């Protein structure tokens, strides 16, 4: 991931130093388990832990140099570890294991840790949207379907529905995190042919993982589920960002991205305050969807394994998790700082729509008065067209129609905004996590 979109805490999880250090811990825990089984002498187990090499930049460089000879990164890693621990104790490193035992288990440790950060940040976004939902519960705004004025809704409803979607994303993350918090140390094709099952149980328990049946590799549907959870979050964020972009258009003007002192919206036009963060989030959501496609294609491998997935995962797994956290943090910033213009929204709702948002209410009032529904529909539809073509207020047109014989009370009720939004706080009841 390029530094621009790489949160340092998540990037650190996927650094070569952290990767090799986690792999080393898997190796040492396996040796400890073998010691308990009487395979590795107790003194050698102690020596392995005492001589645990420091995994730093020099260590990584040594592995890279060794790989130029072995053309196998795990074999190069094992060679360097054994050399730095020294013989004869170092000979017990990687005893009875295959590369995927170490690499897959270590990767799952890292992915589970990254998902913990994802879930923390997703919770922060949900809570920010929830706060805005409560603040905007009584602020009316025109609802739009097909991009066209429909009926009134509220800012609060918009934020609440997004918060509920993030909550569903969190539930997906919980399942995906549980699915990836697994390990395997069962040997070359997963049959424990040269390693006792106790080793897998011992190592996984100490790493906070669950041992699972596997071939030579952990099944990649687990990794794909993590990528799906990330992509679902990205798509939710894109939905939020798209709403911001649409409502921030000059002719709408109902929201505005935060704009810091000294910020420039355009190099040429000083008046510009563009929704650039929302646009960035919309674009990055496309990248996440691409990673998901690649992750799904990694699921089907030849027989007990091939390594067609390996090169793909080295790119998409770190990038997807870093990008997800980056997007979550930016989306939370956007939710917290989004500037609302409720007065503009009310003006768009009433004057801007010419009152057409009340057309269904007028239709139902006519039906209640005894007019056949189809006849009432045609009367209201024609009046709405007249309102648009002549730029006249819809209520004025309706009141001038001979076919409309509604009482003043019925008309007032039909054009009563508070009546249409009487249940506006019901959606807030679904935000069960709010304080």
Tens digit of pLDDT for each residue in 30-39?
A: 999 999 999 9
Render the burial of 191-206: b for 16+ CB within 10 Å, e for the rest: ebeebbeebbebbbee
56 and 80 Cβ atoms separated by less than 8 Å:
no
In 10 A of CB 138, how many CB atoms?
14
No. of H helices and E strands in the chain? 17, 6
Helix, strand and coil content of the chain, in percent to the nearest 5, comes to 65, 5, 30
Average predicted confidence (pLDDT) for the chain: 96
For residue 262, name the pLDDT band (cuts at 50, 70, 90): confident
| pLDDT (mean) for 204-219 | 97
pLDDT score of 315 more than 70: yes
- The phi-psi region of residue 430 (left if phi > 0; otherwise alpha if psi is between -120 and 50; otherwise beta) is alpha
pLDDT score of 327 more than 90: yes
pLDDT digits (tens, 9 = 90+) for 148-166: 999 999 999 999 999 999 9
pLDDT of residue 294: 97
Residues designated as active site: 146, 266
pLDDT digits (tens, 9 = 90+) for 100-130: 999 999 999 999 999 999 999 999 999 999 9
CA distance linking residue 331 with residue 238, whole number of Å:
9
315 and 368 Cβ atoms separated by less than 8 Å:
no
pLDDT of residue 269: 79
Give the residue from 300, 115, 322, 98 showing the smallest Cα distance to 216: 98
Percent of the chain with pLDDT over 70: 99
Percent of the chain with pLDDT over 90: 94
Mean pLDDT lowest among 270-274, 401-405, 419-423? 270-274
Q: Classify strands 255-256 and 339-340 as parallel, antiparallel or unpaired.
A: antiparallel
pLDDT score of 260 more than 80: no
pLDDT score of 208 more than 90: yes
Calculate ∠ Cα 8-12-14, nearest 5°: 125
| pLDDT (mean) for 59-82 | 96
pLDDT of residue 424: 96
pLDDT of residue 20: 98
pLDDT score of 195 more than 70: yes
For residue 435, name the pLDDT band (cuts at 50, 70, 90): low
Q: Which two tokens stand for residue 251?
A: 């002719």
Domains in the chain, CATH or no CATH each = 1-95 (1.10.275.10), 98-260+268-347 (1.20.200.10), 348-430 (1.10.40.30)
| pLDDT (mean) for 403-409 | 91
Q: Which two tokens stand for residue 58?
A: 């020099």
Length of the chain in residues, anyone?
435
pLDDT of residue 371: 93
Calculate ∠ Cα 41-42-47, nearest 5°: 100
pLDDT of residue 402: 86
CA distance linking residue 169 with residue 226, whole number of Å:
11
pLDDT digits (tens, 9 = 90+) for 263-309: 777 666 777 788 899 999 999 999 999 999 999 999 999 999 999 99
pLDDT of residue 359: 96
Backbone angles phi, psi at 152, to 5 degrees: -65, 145
CA distances from 237 to 211, 289, 321, 337 (A): 34, 13, 15, 15
């Amino acid at each position: 991931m390029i530094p621009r979109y790489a949160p340092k805490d998540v990037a650190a999880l996927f650094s070569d130093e952290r990767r090799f250090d986690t792999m080393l811990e898997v190796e040492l825990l396996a040796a400890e388990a073998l010691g308990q089984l009487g395979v590795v002498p107790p003194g050698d187990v102690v020596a392995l832990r005492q001589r645990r090499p420091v995994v730093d930049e020099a260590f990584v460089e040594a592995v890279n140099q060794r790989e130029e000879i072995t053309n196998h990164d795990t074999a190069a890693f094992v060679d360097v570890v054994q050399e730095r621990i020294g013989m004869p104790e170092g000979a017990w490193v990687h005893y009875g294991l295959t590369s995927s035992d170490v690499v897959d288990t270590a990767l799952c440790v890292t992915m589970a840790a990254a998902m913990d950060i994802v879930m923390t940040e997703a919770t922060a976004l949900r809570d920010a949207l929830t706060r805005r939902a409560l603040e905007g519960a009584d602020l009316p705004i025109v609802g739009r379907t097909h991009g066209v004025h429909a009926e009134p809704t509220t800012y609060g409803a918009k934020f609440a529905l997004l918060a509920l979607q993030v909550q569903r994303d969190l539930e997906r993350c919980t399942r995906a995190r549980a699915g990836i918090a697994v390990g395997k140390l069962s040997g070359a094709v997963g049959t424990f042919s040269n390693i006792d099952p106790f080793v897998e149980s011992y190592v996984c328990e100490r790493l906070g993982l669950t041992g699972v049946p596997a071939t030579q590799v952990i099944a990649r549907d687990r990794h794909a589920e993590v990528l799906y959870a990330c992509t679902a979050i990205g798509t939710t964020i894109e939905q939020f960002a798209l709403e911001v972009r649409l409502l921030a258009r000059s002719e709408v003007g109902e929201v505005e991205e935060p704009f810091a002192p000294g910020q420039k919206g355009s190099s040429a036009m000083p008046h510009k305050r563009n929704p650039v963060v929302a646009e960035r989030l919309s674009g990055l959501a496309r990248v996440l969807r691409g990673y998901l496609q690649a992750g799904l294609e990694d699921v089907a491998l030849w027989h007990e394994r091939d390594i067609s997935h390996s090169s793909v995962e080295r790119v998409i797994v770190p990038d997807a998790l870093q990008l997800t956290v980056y997007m979550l943090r930016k989306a939370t910033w956007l939710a917290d700082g989004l500037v609302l213009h409720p007065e503009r929204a009310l003006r768009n709702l009433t004057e801007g729509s010419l009152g057409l948002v009340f057309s269904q209410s007028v239709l139902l009032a006519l039906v209640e008065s005894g007019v056949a529904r189809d006849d009432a529909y045609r009367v209201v539809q024609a009046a709405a067209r007249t309102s648009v073509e002549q730029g006249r207020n819809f209520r004025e047109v309706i009141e001038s129609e001979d076919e409309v014989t509604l009482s003043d009370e019925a008309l007032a009720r039909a054009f009563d905004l508070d009546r249409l939004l009487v249940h506006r706080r019901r959606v807030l009841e679904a935000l069960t996590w709010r304080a």
